[in-house]
Amino acid sequence: MSAAALFNGAPAPDLALHRGLHYGDGVFRTCLIYRSQIIDIQEQCDTLNTDAARLGIASVAAPELAREAGELARGHDRAVLKMTLLRAGTARGYRPDGRAADRLLCRYLAPVFPAAAWERGVTAVRSSFRLAAQPALAGIKHLNRLEQVLASRDWPPGTDEALLEDEAGRPVCGTRTNLFWVSAGVLHTPVLDRCGVAGLMRRKILALAERTGLKTDIRAGTWGELDAADEMFLTNSLVGIWPVAACGAWRRPAPGPVTRDLMEQLRHPRLVQP
Amino acid sequence: MSAAALFNGAPAPDLALHRGLHYGDGVFRTCLIYRSQIIDIQEQCDTLNTDAARLGIASVAAPELAREAGELARGHDRAVLKMTLLRAGTARGYRPDGRAADRLLCRYLAPVFPAAAWERGVTAVRSSFRLAAQPALAGIKHLNRLEQVLASRDWPPGTDEALLEDEAGRPVCGTRTNLFWVSAGVLHTPVLDRCGVAGLMRRKILALAERTGLKTDIRAGTWGELDAADEMFLTNSLVGIWPVAACGAWRRPAPGPVTRDLMEQLRHPRLVQP
């Protein structure tokens, strides 16, 4: 079963002139399809609309979006759904002439990973790529993703994720994951007000921490703090929580106790290699 | 005659899954078609390939590109040609799995402007939008253009272009033009090593200045320098040189003598309202 796409509910769009392609004028969410259901579909639709609003793009009725997404998910045990809202328009010129949105829903085969990724942790590297500071776009999952493309070009073999830094040289996130670490029983994650993408899984983890009384600290940290961390993990809506076992010289048995506890509470399906 | 597109030489592509749309993983040039010819086609093809190389995208043979572009230009008195090179691929995931390029050529109706734009100058405003500093992407005409979209959203009526600043609050360029000013007989234009797009017309103007013995100064300037300028103008491959008559409180008879001289030497066709 290969990839499939629906554009405003219909197949086979001609997007050659669309401003989504020419300017990246849109936002997206990546969701996990598990047993024909889309995990967190309501929150994903809401966040998609919230991000769209920051670009001045009209929202799409969440029930309609969820219904169309459900059609693509039906009959799929594990797959990936990407929901995209694009500012409508095919005229040339940066200046938007409205807020109308086109919706693009794409279904892909789910990636699979060795079970060891969750059971013994993944390997991250510290990338030398620095994310630009742009408060107007920070936190939004938008279609301008060249930084992530460039940052993931030259990974050493055996790398599962690269960690990126901000303009001041502080760790921010992975190329496709949010970053957390645990120090002295406190859960840390970088603030994302100048760069980085605020994933839905990041929000879920922070809510989970709050519910369970785990103290959290959301602010810019340093590589030194990361080097001294007791535990480290990465999150996104596909993998859930990936414990980190190695990041450069940093090595820890993974998952550590706090990470393991969060994973058990999260109960996220695993995309395990058969 | 409406817009038309050729994707790898064929019409009607399905780009719903293309990484050009999902990540903006590509570069482009905007060219003027005048009397069935594409102005500076050779230089445009070369610059397109140079920009593509910076993203690790393979080059396309310039003669093939020029031939296809010529097909789209034939029979058009004035039109716009947009040449785009996209990293080929429809798989999900930022990490590029190769350098292969897809080419997309689009022809649009030419925009038209009042003759006064060239004869008496245009009105620019100083935008409060700051371009992020990203040396890895600076100067490249790539498809991640959300900053330009956002910066051109809220223009006051009567505005022809908005000038943007860098992270240090220094003027860099317009949303779709490069910026020049003249002070005490010296031609100034901002350096573009941290943000901004290096247009082909900017390069032509600098070459023209060199040939005619006009002293040039390429470095970051300040709004104060701009406020004290004798002349100011904007450039791109469609309008050529647009003299600026007003920018905030700054007002000057336009075009000034140095600008007029450059315009006369450039002899760029004008997209004048009939």
Q: What CA–CA distance (Å, rounded) separates B56 from A178?
A: 26
Helix, strand, coil shares of chain A as percentages rounded to 5?
A: 25, 30, 45
Structure tokens, A102: 């086109």
- Helix B200-211 crosses helix B257-266 at what angle (to 10 degrees)? 110
**B125 touching A (Cβ < 8 Å):** no
Confidence of residue B1 (pLDDT cuts 50, 70, 90): low
Q: What CA–CA distance (Å, rounded) separates B56 from B27?
A: 11
pLDDT at site A59: 97
Which of B92, B103, B108 to mutate to test binding with chain A, by most A CBs within 10 Å of its CB? B92
From residue A19, how far is each of A97, B14, B70, B87, B219 by CA, in Å? Answer: 11, 15, 24, 17, 32
| Residue A60: closest CA among A30, A11, A52 | A52
Chain CA centroid to CA B112, Å:
16
Confidence of residue B41 (pLDDT cuts 50, 70, 90): very high
In tens, the pLDDT along B102-160 reads 999 999 999 999 999 999 999 999 998 999 999 999 999 999 999 999 999 988 989 99
**Secondary structure tally for chain A: helices H, strands E:** 8, 14
Which regions of chain A are under pLDDT 70?
1, 12
List the 210-269 stretch of A: residues with Cβ below 8 A of B.
Answer: none
Residue B16 has pLDDT above 80, yes or no: yes
**B42 touching A (Cβ < 8 Å):** no
pLDDT at site B14: 86
- The answer to whether A25 contacts B94, with C-beta atoms less than 8 Å apart, is no
Q: What CA–CA distance (Å, rounded) separates A146 from B86?
A: 12
Report which secondary-structure segment, H or E, holds B181.
strand B178-183
pLDDT at site A73: 97
**B168 touching A (Cβ < 8 Å):** no
Which of A18, A72, A142, A144 to mutate to test binding with chain B, by most B CBs within 10 Å of its CB? A144
Residue B12 has pLDDT above 70, yes or no: no
Instruction: Find out whether A48 and A42 touch, Cβ atoms under 8 Å.
Output: no
pLDDT at site A12: 63
Of residues A2 and B219, the one with the higher pLDDT is B219
